[in-house]
Amino acid sequence: MIRVFLVRHGIAADAAPGQPDESRPLTAKGRRRFRRTARAFARLGERVDKLITSPLVRAVQTAEILARALRQDEVGVLEELRSEVPPAKLFGALSQQIEDGEGVALVGHDPQMTKLVAALAQLDGNDADRIAFAKGGIVRIDVDAFPPAKNKPRWHLEPRAESAEEGLPLLEHPHGQDDHR
């Protein structure tokens, strides 16, 4: 089993005239809120073996904040985490980089992150339409394989939570019996 933590980048600045979308940074509020989310995530004690981000500035900045909170030195960049890349192409790239038993945090953008939650959790159209993935949010999904087989969403950490437990609309407790950190 692979523990996948899908991370939507924090609040980003609007593009200035002539500024490419790729270079939009996080706002001060986006950095502040995501630092709080990253600290709450770190307190959960989840093991993250790999931290991989989209190459866009706002995602890289979000990944760097998460890396500091998790005390990780390395952040990988994966082109397939751009928002316009279909999940199937991303699954192909991930299957070559991630091993069974690992925990991997993927930092990216919507609508791709919402599509990934739906694809990895194998949600039908009605359930997929109810996914609300806020900027700076984190969702854990346990994955048997890429492409998905029978995967299980575990929790969703909202960016406005004051504590880890408060921010987890749980599908089951984060410290459940079959939890592997």
Output the domain CATH number for residue 39.
Answer: 3.40.50.1240
Please report whether residue 168 resides in a domain: no
With CA atoms as reference, report the closest residue to 4 among 109, 148, 178, 126. 148
pLDDT tens by residue, 142-164:
888 776 665 555 666 767 665 55
How confident is the model at residue 117, as a pLDDT? 84
CB count, 10 Å around CB of 160? 12
**pTM attached to this predicted model:** 0.82
Please report whether residue 162 resides in a domain: no
Residue 178 banded pLDDT, cuts 50, 70, 90 = very low
Pairing relationship of beta strands 138-143 and 152-157 according to DSSP bridges: antiparallel
pLDDT tens by residue, 44-82:
999 999 999 999 999 999 999 999 999 999 999 999 999
Please report whether residue 164 resides in a domain: no
Please report whether residue 166 resides in a domain: no
Q: What is the 3-state secondary structure (H, E, C) of 55-124?
A: CCHHHHHHHHHHHHHHCCCCCEECHHHCCCCCHHHHHHHHHCCCCCCCEEEEEECCCHHHHHHHHHCCCC
Mean per-residue pLDDT, 7-13: 97
pLDDT tens by residue, 117-128:
888 877 776 666
User: How many whole angstroms separate alpha carbon 74 and alpha carbon 147?
Assistant: 25
Please report whether residue 139 resides in a domain: yes
User: Cβ-count burial of 56 within 10 angstroms (0-12 exposed, 13-18 middle, 19+ buried)?
Assistant: buried
**Number of domains the chain is built from:** 1
Range of the domain at 106: 2-12+23-157
